[in-house]
Each structure stands twice: as structure tokens, then as C-alpha cells.
């Protein structure tokens, strides 16, 4: 099986205090879909469709789950969605609420896609959009989610949709990765998959070693063996890719101490110098979300074939 990886552009909206101009006409958003986050209680209901709500809650209590917390989180999520719908109605935008299952079918109808949840919900929404339909993320759980991909992070602006209607915002590009999986006859097995963060190529079982041939920009194939390959966008360069390549201060300190033991003079304080070096190295890992480049990192390379 082979995988062809290409960059595909996507758009999200970032509201800013700007007035519309002739050179930047205001987009007309008449319809919007709101992707609601699947709460833990919703998930349990789907998992146990034959149980009534009371039976389900009793069952979950018997398994030691914090049912009160589940109910409270579910209420907060649904209240947040209702608030979003109210704001969209005030902006005279016709709205549909969708789930992950109905998302793809609803996207062509919408001028705007709104994800109501955290970063995971935003990634789900972005994956369903194949064209340049804007995607807006609203963090509905500021306590439990950082909302790095959501407008305003933990504090989305109350007048967000009114500002969008008035054109007081800008579009921001985020590059995506287009993945096409081919069979042995080099025929596409599926429609292209669009990834906003990263793509992992490897065995479905983490304990297995992945052996693959890789070609970049039509260069000759190179055979590799590793725990898998991560291909990251600028958006993903602050998450899994960052964690994979992050330099720890302890590692830098160990290197500096080894240098001292070899008679190499290190004039500065080792701990302070290690902190400074690690920061400089880590600051170079992430890159801009709209950058066309994509970074690749094999996990635990094994060159023995």
C-alpha cells in the first residue's frame, strides 16, 4: 500500500477590528451549520441505545462513573450550543445543528461551518470541508479545553457573529495535507483525506515496526524502518510534532556536563545555559499555519533491514 501526500489549502476565520473595504468585500453568510461536540453522556447513550436515561445513569453509577459530572458537562455543552444558535439568529443566518455522522452531507449547504466544542471538534469540522468554506471554532468548555484552534481561545468574543456579518474580520489560511491511499494497482482506494494537524503513516499496532519506502518531491525512493512517520503542517507543528522534537533541558544539561568531564570549558552556569539552549531549539520547531511546507519526523529509526 502506498500513500501520496500533498498540501491542500483551507480557510478559517479570525475576527479582527477592521472595517470592510472595497478591496476586501464582506462575504455574505446566509447559512451555517453548527457541529456540536459529542459529550460523554451522549456517547454512553449511543453505546447503550436500549437503556432508558434512568437505567443508563444507574448503570454508569454502578461502574463507578461520576454521573453528576457527566450530566453537568452535557448541560453546559447544550447551553453553549443554544447560545451560539441565538447569536446566529440575531445575525440573520439560517442554521442547522449537525453531528459528526451528518456533518459531511450538510457542508455543501452551508456558507459557514461552526464547531462547538474544543480543538478535537474543530479538527473534525475542518476534515469535512473540501473547499474554501470558512470554519470557525468556538470553545464551549473553557475549563476543560485550551481551544488553541478556537477563536479567542478560552474567551470567545460575545459579538463574534455580528462582527462577521459586518465584515470586521479577516480570513486566515491554514495549510492542510491531502492524503490519497492507493492499492497495488496504483488505483485510489478512497477519496482524498484532508488533515489539518498531521498524518501518521505506520502500523495500526504501535508495538510493530513499520517498513516503508518514501519519496519526497519525486526524488528516488528511500527505504526506511521505524515506529512510523509523522508528516506535520504548521498547525500541527505545535502539538504531536512539537512533542516528538522537543529538546529537554535535562538532555542539554547532560551534554554540557559531559563536555566539562572531557575538559571542554563551559564558562556559563550549566543550568541557565541549558535552559537558554533548549528554548532556542524549541522555538525553531513550530512554523506558521499557512506555510506551504510540511515537516516529516520518523519515530525511532531502525536502519537494519
pLDDT tens per residue across span 228-239: 888 888 888 888
Do 231 and 146 belong together in one domain? no
Higher pLDDT, 106 or 288: 106
- Predicted confidence at residue 70, as pLDDT, reads 94
On average, the pLDDT of the chain sits at 82
> Is 99 a domain residue?
yes
- pLDDT higher for 253 or 217? 253
CA 156/CA 150 separation, integer angstroms: 8
Dump pLDDT digits (tens) for 27-56: 678 999 999 999 999 999 999 999 999 999
The better pLDDT of the pair 45, 184 is held by 45
- In this structure, the answer to whether residues 68 and 110 fall within a common structural domain is yes
Give me the pLDDT at residue 297, please. Answer: 65
Q: Are residues 58 and 151 in the same domain?
A: yes
Q: Which residue has the higher pLDDT, 9 or 71?
A: 71
Min mean pLDDT across 84-93, 162-171, 268-277 is at: 162-171
- Residue 21 within a domain: no
Q: Is the domain of 38 the same as that of 152?
A: yes
Pick the range with the lowest mean pLDDT from 23-27, 143-147, 238-242: 23-27
Among candidate residues 124, 142, 165, the one where a domain is terminated: 165
Q: For residue 11, is it within any domain?
A: no
Q: Would you state the pLDDT for residue 85?
A: 93
116 and 70 in one domain? yes
* CATH at residue 135: 3.40.50
Tell me the mean pLDDT in the region 95-114.
93
150 with 228, same domain? no
Q: How many domains, the chain?
A: 2
- Domain assignment of residue 273, given as a range: 197-298
Domain boundary among 145, 165, 185: 165
Instruction: Confirm whether 39 is domain-assigned.
Output: yes
pLDDT at 71: 95
pLDDT computed for residue 23 by the predictor: 44
In a domain, 130, yes or no: yes
Task: Give a yes or no: residue 101 inside a domain.
Answer: yes
pLDDT for 262: 92
Confidence at 265, pLDDT banded by 50, 70, 90: confident
Which of residues 165, 186, 216 is at a domain's end?
165
Q: Which of 134-138, 148-152, 187-191, 278-282 has the weakest average pLDDT? A: 187-191
Select the more confidently predicted residue: 247 or 14: 247
Mean of pLDDT values over 61-70: 94
| pLDDT > 80? residue 11 | no
Q: Per the domain annotation, does 175 fall within a domain?
A: no
Residue 185: inside a domain: no
Q: What integer pLDDT is reported at residue 208 of this predicted model?
A: 86
Amino acid at each position: 500500500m502506498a500513500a501520496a501526500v500533498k498540501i491542500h489549502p483551507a480557510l478559517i476565520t479570525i475576527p479582527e477590528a477592521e472595517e470592510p473595504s472595497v478591496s476586501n468585500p464582506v462575504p455574505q453568510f446566509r447559512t451555517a451549520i453548527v457541529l456540536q461536540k459529542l459529550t460523554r453522556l451522549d456517547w454512553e447513550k449511543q453505546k447503550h441505545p436500549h437503556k432508558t436515561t434512568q437505567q443508563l445513569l444507574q448503570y454508569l453509577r454502578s461502574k463507578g462513573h461520576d454521573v453528576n459530572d457527566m450530566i453537568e458537562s452535557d448541560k453546559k455543552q447544550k447551553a453553549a450550543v443554544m447560545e451560539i444558535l441565538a447569536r446566529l439568529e440575531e445575525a440573520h443566518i439560517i442554521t442547522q445543528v449537525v453531528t459528526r455522522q451528518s456533518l459531511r452531507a450538510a457542508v455543501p449547504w452551508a456558507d459557514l461551518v461552526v464547531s462547538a466544542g474544543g480543538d478535537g471538534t474543530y479538527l473534525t469540522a475542518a476534515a469535512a470541508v473540501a473547499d474554501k468554506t470558512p470554519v470557525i471554532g468556538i470553545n464551549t468548555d473553557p475549563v476543560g479545553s485550551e481551544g488553541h484552534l478556537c477563536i479567542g481561545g478560552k474567551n470567545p468574543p460575545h459579538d463574534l457573529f455580528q462582527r462577521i456579518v459586518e465584515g470586521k474580520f479577516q480570513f486566515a489560511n491554514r495549510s492542510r495535507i491531502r492524503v490519497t491511499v492507493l492499492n497495488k494497482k496504483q488505483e485510489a482506494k478512497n477519496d482524498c483525506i484532508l488533515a489539518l494537524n498531521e498524518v501518521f503513516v505506520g502500523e495500526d499496532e504501535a508495538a510493530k515496526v513499520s517498513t516503508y519506502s518514501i519519496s519526497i518531491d519525486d526524488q528516488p525512493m528511500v527505504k526506511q524502518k521505524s515506529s512510523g512517520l509523522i508528516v506535520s503542517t504548521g498547525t500541527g507543528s505545535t502539538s504531536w510534532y512539537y512533542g516528538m522534537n522537543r529538546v529537554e533541558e535535562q538532555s542539554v544539561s547532560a551534554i554540557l556536563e559531559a563536555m566539562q568531564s572531557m575538559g571542554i570549558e563551559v564558562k556559563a552556569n550549566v543550568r541557565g545555559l541549558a535552559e537558554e539552549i533548549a528554548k532556542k531549539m524549541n522555538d525553531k520547531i513550530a512554523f506558521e499555519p499557512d506555510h506551504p511546507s510540511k515537516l516529516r519526523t520518523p519515530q525511532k529509526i531502525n536502519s537494519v533491514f
